[in-house]
Amino acid sequence: MIVDIIITGLINGSSYALLAIGFSLIFGVARIVNIAHTAFYMVASYCIYTAFHKFHLNPVLAMLGAVVVTTIIGIVTYKIFIQPIREHEAVVLIATIALAIALQESMMLIFTGEFLSVPPLVAGYTTILGVKIFYQHLVTFASVLVILMGLHLFLEKTKLGLAIRATAQDREVANLMGMNEARLATVTVAVSVALAAFTGSVIAPLSIVEPFMWLHPLIMMMAVVVLGGLGSIKGSFYAAYILGFAESIIVFTLPMGSFLKGSVALSIMILVLLIRPEGLFGIAFEEER
């Protein structure tokens, strides 16, 4: 049971961390509360399903293809629907909700609402303390860590990363320093959608692929972002694992656990916010100019 809890917690936590960091990035740079973020995660899962079953690609290629296709969809929808109304924050909010519904319904039309499954990247399992651990779990966890490291290096060491962080801190001054804010926003959207797509393609083999699979991760992702502090990547990382483990502990120990997992995790978030209104690692934002 303890091994079960640890495995589920790590996997859930990793996927929430990736999603939340993507969401944070897009919020920080473009000030978009992107409800459609996890919808791209769902789209990527469907892409990888298509790649496997229609085109019979090998798993790694299928994953790469899914990420690329989803990122292109993300950029195109951003350019058409979101960019022209960027100044109206409330409107962007419902535009992303509508976008998420549109993506969900498109997938429903193409693939019907059936529960689909994707074979794992790496088949087989090993046994630790009498619990089956699929290699897919290990691969998922390892790849998430690699991506997180890569993202950290990208944000800290490259010029583009510096520009993204600068814009997140202060849009106007970044603009005055000659950073092309609109282009940067597009790049950030691409990075963030790619992160969502990557999460979708590594999680797809471990879960069921269906058009409504984006709702639960959406809520947990938002909880993670708030708990960790908006705009803090370190915060999102820790908060994701806190909530991931909270969920898995509830599921495995309480009788009605699977119903209550969301409630308990969200209650933890609210309790923390009562003590620290800016989240675990957040800095209280100064008023935007």
The end-to-end CA distance of the chain, in Å, is: 51
| 129 is a site residue for other proteins (CB under 8 A) | no
Give yes or no for a contact between 51 and 220, defined as CB atoms under 8 angstroms apart. Answer: no
Select 190 or 273, whichever has its Cβ closest to other proteins: 273
Total residues at the site for other proteins (CB under 8 A)? 48
Question: Cβ of residue 203: shortest distance to other proteins, in angstroms?
Answer: 20
Residues of this chain, 71-110, that bind other proteins according to CB under 8 A: 81, 84-85, 87-88, 90-91, 93-95, 97-99, 101-102, 104-106, 108-109
Fill in the amino acid letter for 222.
M
| 219 is a site residue for other proteins (CB under 8 A) | yes
Cβ within 8 Å of residue 164, ≥6 positions away: 25, 28, 29, 155, 184, 187, 188, 191
Quick one: CA dihedral 262, 265, 270, 271, positive or negative? positive
Select 51 or 185, whichever has its Cβ closest to other proteins: 185
Select 53 or 88, whichever has its Cβ closest to other proteins: 88
| 269 is a site residue for other proteins (CB under 8 A) | yes
Taking phi over 0 as left and psi of -120 to 50 as alpha, with beta for the rest, 32 belongs to: beta
The stretch near other proteins (CB under 8 A) out of 9-17, 49-57, 167-175, 254-262 is: 254-262
Q: Which two tokens stand for residue 50?
A: 């298509």
Question: Cβ of residue 237: shortest distance to other proteins, in angstroms?
Answer: 18
Which of 250, 245, 248, 243 minimizes the C-alpha distance to 228?
243
Give yes or no for a contact between 194 and 75, defined as CB atoms under 8 angstroms apart. Answer: no
Q: Tell me which residues touch other proteins (CB under 8 A).
A: 27, 33, 35, 81, 84-85, 87-88, 90-91, 93-95, 97-99, 101-102, 104-106, 108-109, 215, 218-219, 222-223, 225-226, 230, 256, 259-264, 266-267, 269-270, 273-274, 277-279, 287
